[in-house]
């Protein structure tokens, strides 16, 4: 084995996260399908599922970052995945008992979102424990690549499960995947070197992370772009299943197939990110990816029934290529750039803006979908995505990302297992 594949602990992290992401991708299609097919939900109610899942970032993102910086990351990850297993495992039980309602589904999405906040912050800070500075790009590419592969398999699997056993079966698969992830993370042997975050009050530690982001022009620009871009992308995705199912008349299996084919672009994006960075420089490669992804959304509203789904698949494919490749590059940048004792607070400070726009986008997508039509809402979202590109201006003269913020020491290396 070469590189990180020879690292047992990284393989366990990769296996657990890939399995969990496959379940989550199945559930991301299954939840709206349950709402549309089983509960006969409106477009606005389906969009609320997206809003509920991302609302916790806006509400608890900042304190969560400070808490995670104080704690060893592996136990946080274990607790979050255990909670997610219980939350989503309760949905098929409620359905079997005839107690499943739209408020119950929204509550599960909300509580699952809370667990996701803490898990994501711990997970992003935990990768450098298993991989040194020189391996972070490789690690992020492998994790993003497998995540993209699950985005290919997940919707298709959700569609097959929905047709064979009903839409709620996909949510049961998600619960099982969290259990597998718990077993894998528990088996990791590497001991984390916990960098003290200080004993100052929680409010002061939150403020420290915010100041670091606001005063740094690179992080500030990245945060603003992420917020506007997520507003567009989430508004688009929040109504895409309703658009495919009701406007274009696609059956659940065809909906899953279309989403899977489009998401396969993410596998390509993860595979080429490192090569693009080596050839053009990491910043130029990232800007190229974002400039490619945004206009691709314009193809989606051109879709029609049957083979007319092709423009939608091409739109999703192109977006996934650009966004995933860009995510590999900017995630590595943040992990190398930010002080280890601040990394969760920096991530939460940026995420409260980046991800805080997602609940708003989910609601806006639903409102606009009912007010002006689903196809017209897709046009609006595509336009907003293109208008976000000028926000990346501070990076336009750079070839590569800066490796260290002022005064940032090298990453601590993991203790031997």
Tell me the CB-side half-sphere exposure of residue 389, using CA atoms within 13 A: 17
Mean pLDDT of 73-80: 92
Show the 3-state SS of 284-308. HHHHHHHHHHHHHHHHHHHCCCHHH
pLDDT for the residue numbered 379: 93
Q: Domains (ranges, CATH) in the chain?
A: 3-193+202-395 (1.20.1250.20)
pLDDT for the residue numbered 413: 43
pLDDT for the residue numbered 59: 84
pLDDT for the residue numbered 196: 58
pLDDT bin (cut points 50, 70, 90) of residue 218 is confident
pLDDT for the residue numbered 412: 43
The label of the residue with tokens 């040194």 reads 132
Per-residue pLDDT reduced to its tens digit, 341-363: 777 888 888 877 777 777 777 77
**Contact by Cβ (8 Å): 269, 148:** yes
pLDDT for the residue numbered 108: 92
Mean pLDDT of 120-144: 79
Per-residue pLDDT reduced to its tens digit, 223-254: 889 888 888 888 888 788 888 888 888 887 78
pLDDT for the residue numbered 296: 93
Per-residue pLDDT reduced to its tens digit, 140-183: 888 877 877 776 677 677 777 877 787 788 889 889 999 999 99
Average the pLDDT over each of 64-78, 154-168, 325-339, 389-403 and give the range with the smallest value: 154-168
Structure-token pair, residue 247: 């406007």
pLDDT for the residue numbered 407: 46
pLDDT bin (cut points 50, 70, 90) of residue 406 is very low
Q: Is 291 exposed, middle or buried (0-12, 13-18, 19+ CB in 10 A)?
A: middle
Separation of alpha carbons 180 and 255, rounded Å = 27
pLDDT for the residue numbered 404: 63
pLDDT for the residue numbered 197: 54
pLDDT for the residue numbered 50: 74
Per-residue pLDDT reduced to its tens digit, 192-206: 766 655 566 777 888
Mean pLDDT of 204-211: 82
Mean pLDDT of 373-393: 90
DSSP string computed for 64-133: HHHHHHHS-HHHHHHHHHHHHHHHHHHHHHHHHTT---HHHHHHHHHHHHHHHHHHHHHHHHHHHHHS-G
pLDDT bin (cut points 50, 70, 90) of residue 333 is confident
Average the pLDDT over each of 5-9, 106-110, 190-194, 327-331 and give the range with the smallest value: 190-194
- The CA distances from residue 347 to 122, 273, 366, in Å, are 10, 21, 28
Please state, rounded to an integer, the average pLDDT across all residues of the chain: 83
Which residue would you say has higher pLDDT here, 37 or 213? Answer: 213
Separation of alpha carbons 380 and 382, rounded Å = 5
């Amino acid at each position: 084995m070469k590189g990180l594949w020879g690292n047992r602990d990284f393989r366990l992290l990769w296996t657990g996260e890939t399995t969990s992401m496959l379940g989550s991708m199945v559930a991301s299609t299954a939840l709206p399908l349950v709402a549309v097919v089983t509960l006969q939900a409106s477009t606005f109610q389906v969009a609320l599922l997206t809003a509920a899942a991302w609302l916790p970032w806006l509400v608890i993102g900042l304190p969560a970052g400070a808490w995670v910086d104080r704690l060893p990351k592996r136990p946080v990850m274990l607790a979050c995945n255990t909670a997610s297993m219980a939350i989503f495992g309760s949905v098929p039980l409620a359905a079997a008992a005839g107690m499943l309602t739209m408020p119950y589904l929204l509550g599960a999405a909300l509580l699952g979102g809370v667990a996701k906040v803490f898990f994501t912050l711990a997970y992003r800070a935990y990768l450098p424990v298993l991989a040194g500075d020189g391996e972070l790009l490789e690690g992020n590419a492998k994790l993003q690549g497998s995540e993209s592969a699950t985005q290919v398999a997940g919707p298709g699997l959700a569609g097959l499960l929905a047709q064979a056993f009903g839409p709620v079966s996909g949510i049961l698969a998600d619960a099982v995947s969290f259990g597998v992830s718990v077993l894998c993370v528990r088996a990791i042997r590497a001991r984390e070197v916990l960098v003290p975050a200080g004993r100052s009050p929680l409010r002061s530690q939150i403020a420290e992370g915010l100041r670091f982001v606001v005063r740094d022009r690179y992080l500030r620009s990245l945060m603003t772009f992420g917020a506007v871009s997520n507003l567009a992308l989430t508004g688009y995705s929040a109504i895409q299943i309703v658009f495919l199912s009701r406007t274009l008349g696609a059956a659940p299996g065809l909906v899953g197939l279309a989403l899977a084919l489009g998401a396969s672009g993410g596998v390509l994006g993860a595979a080429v990110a490192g090569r693009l960075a080596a050839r053009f420089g990491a910043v130029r490669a990232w800007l190229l990816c974002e400039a490619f992804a945004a206009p691709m959304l314009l193809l989606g509203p051109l879709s029609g029934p049957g083979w007319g789904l092709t423009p939608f698949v091409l739109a999703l494919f192109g977006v996934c290529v650009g966004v995933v490749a860009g995510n590999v590059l900017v995630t590595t940048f943040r992990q190398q750039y930010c002080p280890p004792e601040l990394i969760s607070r920096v991530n939460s400070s940026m995420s409260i803006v980046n991800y805080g726009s997602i609940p708003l986008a989910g609601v806006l997508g639903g409102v606009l979908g009912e007010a002006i039509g689903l196809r017209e809402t897709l046009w609006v979202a595509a336009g907003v995505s293109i208008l976000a590109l000028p926000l990346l201006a501070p990076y336009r003269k750079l070839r590569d990302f800066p490796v260290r913020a002022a005064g940032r020491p090298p990453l601590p290396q993991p203790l031997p297992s």
